[in-house]
Amino acid sequence: MSKRALVKYLSELKKTELEEQLIDLYHRFPVVKEYYDFVFNPKEDKLLQEAKIKISNEYFPLKRKRAKARRSVAQKYIKHFVKLGVDPHLTADLMLYNLEVAQSFSLEKNVPEAFYKSMGNSFNDLVQYVSLNALLSDFKDRIIACYIFAQDHHWPNREGFSKSLDIID
């Protein structure tokens, strides 16, 4: 159904019918419920803390012995934050937190080449996001710290970090 057809259909409905459909959607689809729960009671700080705990548990697990170190876990939360419309400042903070935890992890473990490539992609995404949302002044120090870490620890893709920083220059 096109947006035009949907608008036409909705405009023909009575208010009570429209309310019934929204309530039905709310009960049927968890995504709709989650969206409305967030819209009416945005506990952004709670969401941020939950995401940070999950990300840190990916690299430094409390219940299992080996870390999984999956970038996809953080990406899922970041994408979810963007979809919900969480404050860009908090989303950028989560993106940086993911990088910082991963860099701490790389100090303790011997990580594969794919890990470095993945973190390079995360850094590039972060720089683009911060640039797009005009948050550079708030996060410049932490971004530069991540860049310096990659340079000082001779990450194989440190040139990619430099190219990413060229975006904001």
Task: Per-residue pLDDT tens, the chain, 169 aa: give them.
Answer: 899 998 999 899 899 999 999 999 999 999 888 888 888 888 888 889 999 999 999 999 888 888 888 889 999 999 999 988 899 999 999 999 999 999 999 998 888 888 999 999 999 999 999 999 999 999 999 999 999 999 999 999 889 999 988 877 6
Cβ count within 10 A of residue 161: 22
Angle (CA) 42 43 44, round 5°:
90
Closest CA to 146 of 111, 88, 97: 97
CA distance 77 to 73: 7
pTM here is 0.83
Rg (CA), the chain: 20
